[in-house]
Amino acid sequence: MVHQTMPTRITKANKASNKIRPMQKPRFLIRCPQRVGFFWMAAIVGMLSACALAPVMQSPSTPSASVPADRVPSDAHALPPVIVQAQSRWVPVRWSELPGMDTDAVNEAWPAWLQSCTRPGPDWAALCPEIAQLAHANAETQRRWMRSKLQAYRVEPLDTTTQGLLTGYYEPTLTGSRHAQGAFQVPLYAPPAQLNQRKPWFSRQEMATLPAARAALRGKELLYLADPVDAMVLHIQGSGLVNVTEPDGRQRWVRMAYATTNGQPYKSIGRWLLDRKLITDASWPGIKAWIDRNPSRVNELLWQNPRVVFFREEALPVGTTPPGPKGAQGVPLTAERSIAVDRRSIPYGTPVWMKSTGPQTSFDRLVLAQDTGTAIVGAVRADYYAGSGLAAGELAGRLKQPLQLWALWPR
């Protein structure tokens, strides 16, 4: 799910580069990303179009996922070599070093792991049948299997002076209309036909004011929202669920999924407010409080971010809980068990142990690397998918705290 950073994210991530040194049988596999399926924005498209090297290991073949307790390697076994990724260094560690390994409900991460196994890389294809066998096992059985079949690696930056950072993102849930009526006057657009004829395309302000831009967008309206700030949130997150009333009177959820952008750079409206000392709190509640006090300056504020996302509509099953949006790996995200990463540091589909402690929220848990984002750059950098709706938005909005990551890789 390709997404941008929330307005509260104003810390730049660090950059590094190198090549991979596989831990066994030196050979390389070039991995190229699938077409980006969801949020979090077009500034990453250039990054995603480049192929990255990932370590290749021979996966063990085991007829059964059941692992007797006496077959689990002890912490006394010899550790494999360090792996160097393009953006990080993986240092092998003992399982006992993973905080919370014995207490996390790892079974809650298994649905996300099963999603990754629908698009497995060559390193995981042999293990995915065993992962599927363990879908209904208890957490202790799953932990025993992980210790037996995987090696834990502490993810470190190539530049050891940098620090890990965890932020959060979510999928907004909004109300919309198929037609411009009443309060619903803010359109969400599909990509215009002339989008590739002008790079970058018209900015957010130009789309609202220039006749040529408005003419190009005519007929591309997908849905209408009532609040331009909600539309901005949807553009920042890159996707959202919108409740609409169909012509037959039924209400249903539809997903506005990321299609592309106008090619303009993303600029934080929170940063703009901070720089002008208009606010001291750049969280969404702080930004919205400023908007409430300055309704005549809404367009001035929103136009500071020239980037606009164009959407495509995804039909969702009627009467069921909508699945998560698709991340950059091409699989649906799982609330609180999927993260966005820099794929030059951690390949898509990698199970990751995450530790993060903040003033209000702490995590010691198993997650899956299934997405990426514009601001997700660096070795120990992750965006935590909090889920959909207001509570998820509150959690995502307050996450900006230190992070440690351990990649789990086949032995």
Q: What distance in Å separates the CA atoms of residue 330 and residue 264, rounded to the nearest whole number?
A: 25
Across 65-107, the runs of DSSP E, i.e. the strands, are 83-84, 88-92
Contact 306, 316 (CB under 8 A): no
Q: What pLDDT score does 60 carry? A: 39
* 132, containing H or E segment: helix 128-133
Q: What pLDDT score does 360 carry? A: 82
Q: What pLDDT score does 48 carry? A: 34
Domain ranges of the chain: 1-268+305-353+366-411
Assess whether the previous peptide bond of 99 is cis (omega < 30° from 0): no
Q: What pLDDT score does 284 carry? A: 78
Q: What pLDDT score does 119 carry? A: 97
Q: What pLDDT score does 73 carry? A: 65
Assign 178 to helix, strand or coil: coil
Per-residue pLDDT of the chain (411 residues; tens, 9 = 90+): 656 554 433 333 333 333 333 333 333 233 333 333 333 333 333 333 333 334 433 333 444 666 665 566 666 679 999 999 999 999 999 999 999 999 999 999 999 999 999 999 999 999 999 999 999 999 999 999 999 999 999 999 998 777 899 999 999 999 999 999 999 999 999 999 999 999 999 999 999 999 999 999 999 999 999 999 999 999 998 899 999 988 788 888 999 999 999 999 999 999 999 999 999 988 777 888 999 999 999 999 999 999 999 999 998 877 777 889 999 999 999 999 999 999 999 999 999 999 999 988 999 999 999 999 878 999 999 999 999 998 999 899 889 999 999 999 999
Contact 368, 338 (CB under 8 A): yes
Q: What pLDDT score does 70 carry? A: 54
Q: What pLDDT score does 28 carry? A: 29
Q: What distance in Å separates the CA atoms of residue 189 and residue 139, rounded to the nearest whole number?
A: 44
Distance from chain centroid for Cα 186: 26
Q: What distance in Å separates the CA atoms of residue 1 and residue 10, rounded to the nearest whole number?
A: 21
Contact 234, 254 (CB under 8 A): no
Sign of the Cα torsion 289, 290, 294, 299 reads: negative
Mark out the alpha helices in 134-268 (DSSP H runs): 139-149, 204-209, 211-217, 228-237
Q: What pLDDT score does 269 carry? A: 95
Across 172-210, the runs of DSSP E, i.e. the strands, are 173-175, 186-189
Pick the CATH number of 1-268+305-353+366-411 from 2.70.98.60, 2.40.40.10, 1.20.1070.10, 3.40.50.10170: 2.40.40.10
Q: What is the 3-state secondary structure (H, E, C) of 23-51?
A: CCCCCEEEECCCCCCCCCCHHHHHHHHCC
